[in-house]
Amino acid sequence: MKRDSLVFDLIAREEDRQRRGIELIASENFTSKQVMEAAGSVLTNKYAEGLPGKRYYGGCEVVDKIEQIAIDRAKQLFGATWANVQPHSGAQANAAVFLACLKAGDAILGFDLSHGGHLTHGSPVNFSGKLYQANFYGVEEETGVIDYDKVEEKALAVQPKMIICGASAYSRDWDYQRLREIADEVGSLLLADISHPSGLIARGLLNDPLEHCHIVTTTTHKTLRGPRGGLILMREDFDNPWGLTTPKGEIKKMSSLLDMGVFPGTQGGPLEHIIAAKAIAFEEALSDEYMHYVVQVKKNASIMAEEFVSRGYQIISGGTDNHMMLIDLRNKELTGKLAEETLGKVDITINKNMVPFDTKSPFVTSGMRVGTAAVTTRGLKEDDMRKIVQLIDRALQNHSDEAILSKIKEEVNAWMVQFPLY
Ligand code: PLP
């Protein structure tokens, strides 16, 4: 077969884009070469519906071993007693949990999308808002921080069957203990979606959700630095609540319901090539090198936040506890859209983002979200964070001056050559 140069040339262009630019999208990272090698391996050829040792296909002896290694390493990394490594993505992991734990029409309580939550936590355009009765809590306008007394009030009012915590754009740590007390008070399950900070959580740099939450979901490709994918975890298995049964009427433990929520509930055959890549990433995340990495991610974010604040940028909640921050650009008379476009011109990649109580549309927005997971993998340190913010500030202040922007782009490209990628 002829090599498909059309696609491979584009892949080469994307590699070049990643190499020459400064990557600040909070949900992105650069995975290792061995993770990519596994993701591009012959395992992509294999069907393996079911779980290790209990498959609906022959020839699974090798992938059984690989998937079991991934499960064991995920459990070790997060101190869990149960894990399902098959979700194709974070959204799929959440879909499987919802299907396992809820009936259509049940009330749920999630973190508002426009305050930093995720689409799968009840947005009306997502299955979670279409199939369930979605309610939301948010941050306080003055502080940008969640007031847990208000979450309790809301939970008492709406009596959710599941409370969801975790976010795509919240720079503060979560009080999982308090949330569990609220969940227990209203007889609700508590799900933590730790997709963003999971790498920091795995290595003990943030509060541990597994200690208090019934179920935890995460993506594997953000701070965790693995392949694109999802993961579901529990510290302890428990009897299913509300007498939920399988379609055959059997009462099962939560672990079985969750396994069934993944397959056959929401997915077909697992991606064993990605599961192998997850296994490798979990082992990497258990290393001392990764521990240094996550410590640096956090340090870098805190210095970056400091530098933004010193230049008059308003960070929601005033700073960060994790790897990212959400910046309100209204006092700079900029929109998120303009910031994203301007920084794109100088090869700095960020994303526009709604800020709490935003009056602009999601296509325009009043904010931008930045994170340090990818640049830290690239080897950048504290002083580099200050320099990045200087470059951003210069570009945004001169957003209509193409000559200045093109000079900044040259600076960015020349600088990034010093941080080789792959
Ligand atoms: N949950 C949270 C909190 C996220 O931030 C994201 C992705 O941004 C997801 C779930 C969805 O993950 P995926 O894009 O892998 O479906």
Summarize pLDDT for 85-101 with one digit per residue, the tens.
999 999 999 999 999 99
Q: How confident is the model at residue 242 (pLDDT cuts 50, 70, 90)?
A: confident
Residue 28 one-letter amino acid: E
Most ligand 1 atoms within 8 A of CB, residue of 198, 219, 223, 278 to mutate: 219
Together in a domain, 182 and 326: no
**Is 88 annotated among the ligand-binding residues?**
no
Domain annotation covers residue 5: no
Query: Of 233, 255, 286, at which residue does a domain stop?
Result: 286
Q: How many CB atoms lie within 10 A of CB 239?
A: 10
Which residues make beta-bridge pairs with 22?
348
Do 370 and 305 share a structural domain? yes
Give the pLDDT confidence score for residue 331 in this predicted structure. Answer: 96
Please give the Cα distance from 202 to 187 (Å, whole number): 28
Angle, helices 402-416 vs 5-20, to 10°: value is 90
Helix axes 382-397, 288-310, angle to 10 degrees: 40
**Residue 113 annotated as part of some ligand binding site:** yes
Residues 407 and 369 in one domain: yes
Tell me the CA–centroid distance for residue 37 and ligand 1, in Å: 23
The reply to whether 118 sits in an annotated binding site is yes
Would the annotation count 188 as a binding residue?
no
Q: What is the mean pLDDT of residues 176-202?
A: 98
The last residue of a domain, from among 286, 310, 331: 286
What pLDDT, on the 0 to 100 scale, is given for residue 372?
A: 98
Per-residue pLDDT, 55: 97
Which residues, including other chains, have CB under 8 Å from residue 196's CB and lie 6 or more apart?
Answer: 26, 27, 166, 167, 168, 222, 223, 322, 323, 324, 371
The catalytic position among 219, 335, 342, 349 is 219
Nearest CA to ligand 1 atom 4: 168
| Per-residue pLDDT, 163 | 98
E strands within 101-147? 107-111, 133-137
pLDDT computed for residue 250 by the predictor: 80
Is 222 among the catalytic positions? Answer: yes
| 211-225 residue pLDDT tens | 999 999 999 999 999
Ligand 1 centre distance from Cα of residue 244 (Å):
27
The atom number, within ligand 1, closest to the CA of 89 reads: 15
Specify the number of domains making up the chain: 2
Residue nearest to atom 14 of ligand 1 (CA): 90
∠ CA(380), CA(373), CA(335), 5° rounding? 100
| pLDDT tier, 246 (very low <50, low <70, confident <90, very high otherwise) | confident
Of 262, 286, 310, the last residue of a domain is: 286
Mean pLDDT of 346-374: 97
| Statement to judge: residues 394 and 266 lie in one domain | no
Q: Complex ipTM above 0.90?
A: yes
Q: Are residues 182 and 63 in the same domain?
A: yes
Q: Which residues pair with 82 in a beta bridge?
A: 234
**Separation between Cα atoms, residue 226 and residue 32, nearest integer Å:** 8
Residue 18 lies in a domain: no
Would 11 be classed as within a structural domain? Answer: no
Active-site hit among 19, 178, 228, 330:
228
Per-residue HEC secondary structure of 269-303 comes to CCCHHHHHHHHHHHHHHCCHHHHHHHHHHHHHHHH
58-77 residue pLDDT tens: 999 999 999 999 999 999 99
Distance 120 CA to ligand 1 centre (A): 8
323 φ/ψ angles, rounded to the nearest 5 degrees: -100, 0
Percent of the chain with pLDDT over 70: 100
Q: Tell whether residue 138 is among the known ligand binding residues.
A: no
pLDDT at 251 over 90: no
- Same domain as 309, residue 252: no
CATH assignment of the domain containing 345: 3.90.1150.10
The pLDDT of residue 362 is: 92
Return the pLDDT at 102: 95
pLDDT tier at 241, thresholds 50, 70, 90: confident
**Whole-number pLDDT of residue 304:** 98
49 is a catalytic site residue: yes
Q: Does the annotation list 308 as a binding residue?
A: no
What the block records as the tokens of 378 is 């690239």
| Six-digit token string for 26 | 């909070």
Q: Where are the alpha helices (DSSP H) in 346-381?
A: 373-377
Q: Residue 381 and residue 384: Cα distance in Å, rounded?
A: 5
Confirm whether 119 is domain-assigned: yes
44 counts as catalytic? no
Residue 244 above 80 pLDDT?
Answer: no
Using a 6 Å CB cutoff, which residues line ligand 1? 27, 89-91, 118, 120, 166-168, 193, 195-196, 219, 230
What's the 408 CA to ligand 1 centre distance in angstroms? 32
Average pLDDT over residues 131-142: 98
- For 17, 339, 402, 410, the CA distances from 413, given in Å and listed in that order, are 10, 19, 16, 5
pLDDT band at 210 (very low <50, low <70, confident <90, very high): very high
Q: What is the pLDDT of residue 149?
A: 98
Whether residue 384 has pLDDT greater than 80: yes
Cα dist from 58 to 96, 264, 275, 299, whole Å: 25, 18, 18, 49
Does 30 show up as a binding residue in the annotation? no
Query: In this structure, are 257 and 140 located in the same domain?
Result: yes
Looking at residue 245, its pLDDT comes to 74
Q: Which two tokens stand for residue 147?
A: 């007031």
Using CA atoms, how far apart are residues 111 and 360, in angstroms rounded to an integer? 19
pLDDT in tens, 17-47: 999 999 999 999 999 999 999 999 999 999 9
Query: Separation of 119 CA from ligand 1 center, angstroms?
Result: 8
C-alpha 30/C-alpha 21 separation (Å) is: 13
pLDDT at 151: 98
Instruction: Tell me the one-letter amino acid at 296.
Output: Q
Q: What digits encode the pLDDT tens for the residues 103-133?
A: 999 999 999 999 999 999 999 999 999 999 9
Q: How far is the CA of 219 from the centre of ligand 1 (A)?
A: 6
Residue 324: burial class (beta carbons within 10 Å; 0-12, 13-18, 19+): buried
For residues 376-395, one letter each, b for 16 or more C-beta atoms within 10 angstroms of the residue's C-beta and e for the rest, the string is bbbebeeebbeebbebbbeb
Q: Tell me which residue range forms the domain holding 54.
A: 33-286
Q: What angle do CA 227, 231, 237 make, to 5 degrees?
A: 160
Catalytic-labelled residue, pool 55, 75, 222, 235: 222
Query: Is residue 109 a part of any domain in this protein?
Result: yes
* Whole-number average pLDDT of the chain: 97
In this prediction the pTM is 0.97
Distance (angstroms) between ligand 1 centre and the Cα of 94 equals 9
CATH of the domain at 254: 3.40.640.10
Choose the residue to mutate in 121, 127, 168, 191 for probing ligand 1, maximizing ligand atoms within 8 Å of C-beta. Answer: 168
Residues 303 and 389 placed together within one structural domain of the fold: yes
Per-residue pLDDT tens over the stretch 292-336 = 999 999 999 999 999 999 999 999 999 999 999 999 999 999 999
Per-residue pLDDT, 182: 98
Identify the three-state secondary structure at position 166: coil
Specify whether 132 is catalytic.
no
Q: Whose CA is nearest to atom 9 of ligand 1?
A: 90
Tell me whether residue 69 is in a domain: yes
